[in-house]
Structure 1
Amino acid sequence: MATLTVNGESRTFDGDPGTPLLWYLRDVAGLTGTKYGCGQGVCGACTIHLDGVAVRACITTIDMAEGKSVTTIEGLSTDGEHAVQKAWRELSVPQCGFCQAGQIMQAASLLAKNNAPSDQDIVEDMSGNLCRCGCYQRIHAAVRLAAGGV
């Protein structure tokens, strides 16, 4: 039996420890904000934080997450007032919205480790998160806004 801390709550999982964390979060924990995209860790739709670091939930297994703190989009801020979430709303970033939870989680991880990223830092850190709608300019602007820049 695996024990995880998900959004600050201790949880157990009695299934296969090789199960992708994405399926546990969506199907067992009912946290559907984390999206399935490619299933190979390359699109970023399933980005969550594992001990504060952005990882892809589709390629992170339960046993890799055991004993660690998992934060999903639902746990980033209970009231939606994280600086990144506020910037996303202020700049109306999403178009279709499918990738946005992953984008927000990636941006929040970036700002947690670098609260004054350069434009190049933002481009590099966000490059693994794909947006089918091409909202990259608004995403970049929202990261700058959340960091306190414009």
Structure 2
Amino acid sequence: MATPVRTDETARTTAPSPPFSTTVHVGFRVNDEDVELDLDPRESLLDVLRERLELTGTKKGCDHGHCGACTVHVDGRRVVSCLTPAVQAQGTAVTTIEGVAGPGGELHPVQQAFVDHDALQCGYCTPGQVMSGIACIDEGHAGDDAQAREYLSGNLCRCGAYPGIVAAVRAVADRSEG
């Protein structure tokens, strides 16, 4: 007995649907606001923040996790958002540079220290530097210049504003300790 041949038309109408969805529903908090999105599992947290949520303060530098320009906090821990799958944000609290200012719009102490210590030039790396500086202080890793440099070393500055960056982070750390 011959096997029936399926035409293209029958293949289209009888083919089973894929056993998986192409999107994943994810809910998390960004800068103290609840967000729910249907995401492609391949989307990075960086791309979701910038393109879907229009939070463009977080910068796309190398897109390989080497430069730190995309640093954000997830549940209080710093992460490079370009390497973090957005679906991993499920149930977490994400803080971006837009979320660190005070309720009245006053700058976060680390942001103010960057201004006071001339810790920026072009400004492209500044959001990631500030987010890493806040984490460095919160982690207790800004006890001296060498320690601060070590724990900020994942963030690159092409303009070479490192002396001001370290001075800014150390100044806030010293005030926090005192």
Identify whether the pair has TM-score above 0.5, normalized to the shorter chain: yes
Partner of 1:36: 60
- Name the SS of the counterpart of 2:56 in structure 1: coil
Partner of 1:117: 143
- Name the SS of the counterpart of 2:169 in structure 1: helix
Name the CA distance, whole Å, in 2 between partners of 1:27 and 1:134.
29
Name the CA distance, whole Å, in 2 between partners of 1:76 and 1:20.
21
Whether the 8 Å CA contact 1:2–1:17 is kept in 2: the answer is no
Cα RMSD (Å) of the superposition?
1.3
TM-score (norm 2): 0.80
TM-score (norm 1): 0.94
Unaligned runs of at least 5 residues, structure 1: none
* Alignment coverage as a number of residue pairs: 149
Comparing 72-81 with 29-38, greater Cα deviation is found at 72-81
Partner of 1:71: 95
Partner of 2:9: none
Partner of 2:8: none
Larger radius of gyration: 2
Name the CA distance, whole Å, in 1 between partners of 2:77 and 2:106.
20
Partner of 2:110: 84
Higher relative contact order (CA 8 A, sep 6+): 1
Whether the 8 Å CA contact 2:27–2:34 is kept in 1: the answer is yes
Amino acid in the other structure paired with 2:72: I
- The offset of 1:129, in angstroms, is 0.2
Name the CA distance, whole Å, in 2 between partners of 1:96 and 1:126.
18
Which one of 115, 125, 134 corresponds to residue 160 of structure 2?
Answer: 134
- Name the SS of the counterpart of 2:143 in structure 1: coil
**What whole-Å deviation, never above 9, does each CA across 1:81-109 have from its counterpart, x for those lacking one?**
21101101111211101000000000001
Name the CA distance, whole Å, in 2 between partners of 1:15 and 1:109.
28
Comparing 121-130 with 140-149, greater Cα deviation is found at 140-149
Unaligned runs of at least 5 residues, structure 2: 1-24
- The offset of 1:116, in angstroms, is 5.2
Identical pairs, percent = 44
Amino acid in the other structure paired with 1:16: D
Name the CA distance, whole Å, in 2 between partners of 1:41 and 1:116.
22
- Name the SS of the counterpart of 1:147 in structure 2: helix
For 1:42-61, list aligned pairs within 5 A: 42-61=66-85
Name the CA distance, whole Å, in 2 between partners of 1:19 and 1:66.
13
Partner of 1:25: 49
